[in-house]
Structure 1
Amino acid sequence: MFYRPADGHGLPHDPFKAIVVPRPIGWISTLDADGRPNLAPYSFFNGCGDRPPMVMFAQTGAKAPGEPVKDSVANIRATGEFACNVVGSALTDAMNASSGHYPAGADEFEIAGLAKADCEVIGAPRVANAPAVLECRTVRIIDDLPAWQPGWQNIVVIGEVVGIHIDERYLKNGLLDVLAYNPVARMGYMDYTAVTDKFTLRRPG
């Protein structure tokens, strides 16, 4: 089949997010302007540079016209920083619990039963038992992307990684062993997957 997204797909559910898979999950922790913690997962997330290391995540949708989908972007605008917590398979249920739409100021760490730990460079807390955490300072917020309907928001946040935590249990012979914690990724619809195997390819030359 072929379809133009603006014309619709004619299927029971939009296949776009099932095509761009798997998507790593950026579990973004922030503080609001009053110092209250927030934690929310984003599946439009990835690295976007390495010298310096940078990551991006995107927020899409709307609660109501002019209101943010989640509090993360508002908090990042206020503080200029955020942390990306890696979701290992043991944290899947906690990640899902933190994805709900809660009132501004709600503490998703408490809702999901997660312990907090201090970051080293930024003020936002991190998930204490995450396999790895990236501490980030904001480089740019892009909020003038196209949207099809009033009140809808497509916003991209880019951050420079200024500190990295790695749980040493997952370092083996100097390499990060992702198969020891099985990072979780988003598929299409309500589906997820976890990294349980890998293979190596060497570039020609």
Structure 2
Amino acid sequence: MFYEPRKGDHGLAHDPFKALVVPRPIGWISSLSADGAVNLAPYSFFNAFQARPHLVGFASDGRKDSVVFVEETREFVCNLVTEDLWRSMSATSAPLPRGDSEMAHAALEAAPSRLVRPPRVARAAAALECRWTETIHLRDADGRPSEAYLVCGEVVGIFVDDRFIAGGRVDTAAMRVMSRLGYQDYGVVERALTLTRPAGGGDAAAPSGRPYPPA
């Protein structure tokens, strides 16, 4: 099949776009407003963009509380969603009034962050403490503004539950990290495959041409 998204002529019950760009990591974003209200919301348009410095970002469909709160206090936390927190993550996507805590709504305990003011989810296997760098109002190919806002930040602190560190590495499969697929579907990381890339190829090479140290 072939279709043009602007025409919506895919002929299926649902647009398959989100079922094709998969799996998408879930940024479970905790933020704090200027007056101290805590917000927690999941975003599947989330990813890491750079390792030097550590840059991440999430895209919001509209200027929701997460976007506004991050811009007010210039900080946020990306909590990792694992299988044991899957339903709690879903509960935090409820459209609550501004100022109502999604953590309380989902019966989640908060834990203080080390370097930023927004708390992390206490049961999260890992969390990235971030300082806001910019918000980009995304545009289409014709230059027209979309409804999406990309919020970017530098990771200044990383928490990892010691249970998932083995042999000097993080055991991602043991965490059973959740990702978003298409429609109402999710995936879980259950195993990892190792593949050594050619030296100097892709993002395995530093700008100088020297290989990066092992991850």
| Contact residue 58 and residue 154 of structure 1 kept, 8 A | yes
Alignment correspondent of 2:65: 71
Give CA deviations for 1:114-143 in whole Å, capped at 9, x if unaligned. Answer: 110111111101101101000001111001
CA distance in 2, matches of 1:3, 1:26: 30
Q: Shift of the alpha carbon at 1:159? A: 0.5
Gaps of 5+ in 1: 63-67
CA distance in 2, matches of 1:146, 1:82: 27
Q: For the pair shown, which has the larger CA radius of gyration, 1 or 2? A: 2
Q: Which has the higher contact order (CA 8 A, sep 6+)?
A: 1
Q: Shift of the alpha carbon at 1:91? A: 0.5
Q: Shift of the alpha carbon at 1:27? A: 0.1
Deviates most, 136-145 or 29-38: 136-145
* Distance change >3 Å, CA 2–CA 155, structure 1 → 2: same
CA distance in 1, matches of 2:198, 2:148: 38
CA distance in 1, matches of 2:52, 2:130: 14
Alignment correspondent of 2:165: 171
CA distance in 2, matches of 1:101, 1:153: 18
Q: Does 1:34 align with 2:28?
A: no
Q: Does 1:96 align with 2:96?
A: no
Alignment correspondent of 2:149: 155
CA distance in 1, matches of 2:51, 2:145: 34
CA distance in 1, matches of 2:138, 2:30: 24
Q: Where has structure 1 moved over 2 Å in runs of 4 or more? A: 144-148
Gaps of 5+ in 2: 200-215
Give CA deviations for 1:12-71 in whole Å, capped at 9, x if unaligned. Answer: 1011000000000000000012101000000001100001101011112x5xxxxx3x31
TM-score normalised by length of structure 2: 0.87
Q: CA RMSD in A?
A: 1.8
* Distance change >3 Å, CA 106–CA 151, structure 1 → 2: farther
CA distance in 2, matches of 1:147, 1:158: 21
* Distance change >3 Å, CA 202–CA 147, structure 1 → 2: closer
Q: Does 1:6 align with 2:6?
A: yes
Aligned length: 197
| Contact residue 92 and residue 184 of structure 1 kept, 8 A | yes
CA distance in 2, matches of 1:86, 1:33: 24
TM-score normalised by length of structure 1: 0.92
CA distance in 2, matches of 1:52, 1:121: 16
